[in-house]
Amino acid sequence: MRDSYRFARTPLWLAGHALAGVLLVIFLVAGFWQLSRHGEVRDRNAAISEREDMRPLDADRFFEAVLDAGLTEALQYRSVALPVVRFDWHEAVLIRNRSLDGLPGCHLAVPAAATSSDSVEQFGVLVVAGWLPQRGCAIVSGDETESREFVIFRLTEPAEITGRIRTSQQRGLLGPADPAEGELTTLARVDVERISRQTTLDLVPVYVEVTSAARPGGSMIELNPDCCGISPVPLPTPELDAGPHLGYALQWFSFALVAIVGYPLVLRHQARRGESEQIAEA
């Protein structure tokens, strides 16, 4: 019996086998990676749903937890109420390329000095005051003025801010990188450790997205009328959609299935074609 698959051992087809194998591995790895991303989003949504209904942490419990490095991840999306004695506006940084309702802008991150309940010891906390439109970003960065000296609202007495606790953001395999040295006015992400290098306050390793700010009597903090005509918009609660990752995973696994089923069919077709040609020659 003639070897109808002899062609599959030629250099050209051996290269084809290798290419098909590499593509199959890529399809499977991409599919499982998208499944893992889907699982991460599902766990994140569950954490947000569970923790947003919890009572806000008080300052004592918050600082006790953030100073224990092993507990910071468990604080993600929890609410906290912090007594703040001052904002260091001159050390504010902008988190660039952040949109809200389809409009381009940035997030305003400001180091703040907060106290525990005994109002004695102070801790540095990075506070994301909210979203700014592009014009506000230009004012804060100094692009439209000669100085970055601005105060959006003044504190003549301690105020209480309430907000969501977020863990410091780190660069993944892809994405823009911020310079490791120098004083930066804008960053690609809320990297608390990087921002802490250029602040007078020693920042705790998490940051807080402000949802409200009020004076001890309950009145809201008023904007500084002499500032710059800008007001940070509080960041909305993260959306709880599942995202596209499950659909992407199914696509990659479909490609892998096509490769697993289709390539042997190509080989079989080529083998039958060779048999037909040999019969015709005979």
Q: What is the DSSP letter of 175?
A: S
End-to-end CA distance of the chain: 14
pTM, two decimal places: 0.74
**81: its two tokens:** 């109420």
3-state helix, strand, coil in the chain (%, to 5): 40, 20, 40
C-alpha 29/C-alpha 25 separation (Å) is: 6
Question: 161 with 241: CB under 8 angstroms?
Answer: no
User: Among 150, 165, 161, 139, which Cα is nearest to 78's?
Assistant: 165
pLDDT at 277: 57
In angstroms, the Cα distances linking 116 to 60, 127, 163, 262 are 5, 16, 16, 66
**66: its two tokens:** 């953030």
In angstroms, the Cα distances linking 46 to 27, 51, 78, 143, 208 are 29, 9, 12, 41, 20
Tens of each residue's pLDDT in the chain, 282 residues: 457 777 777 888 888 888 989 999 999 999 999 999 999 888 888 888 888 888 888 888 888 888 776 667 778 888 998 888 888 888 889 999 999 888 999 999 999 999 876 666 788 999 998 898 888 888 777 655 445 556 676 676 778 888 999 988 888 777 788 888 888 889 999 999 999 999 999 999 999 998 887 766 555 566 666 666 677 888 888 888 888 899 999 999 999 999 898 888 888 878 777 656 555 555
pLDDT at 195: 93
Name the amino acid, one letter, at 150: F
pLDDT at 149: 58
In angstroms, the Cα distances linking 100 to 8, 160, 171, 185 are 56, 25, 22, 21
pLDDT at 1: 40
Dihedral sign for Cα atoms in the order 169, 171, 174, 176: positive
C-alpha 243/C-alpha 222 separation (Å) is: 38
pLDDT at 223: 61
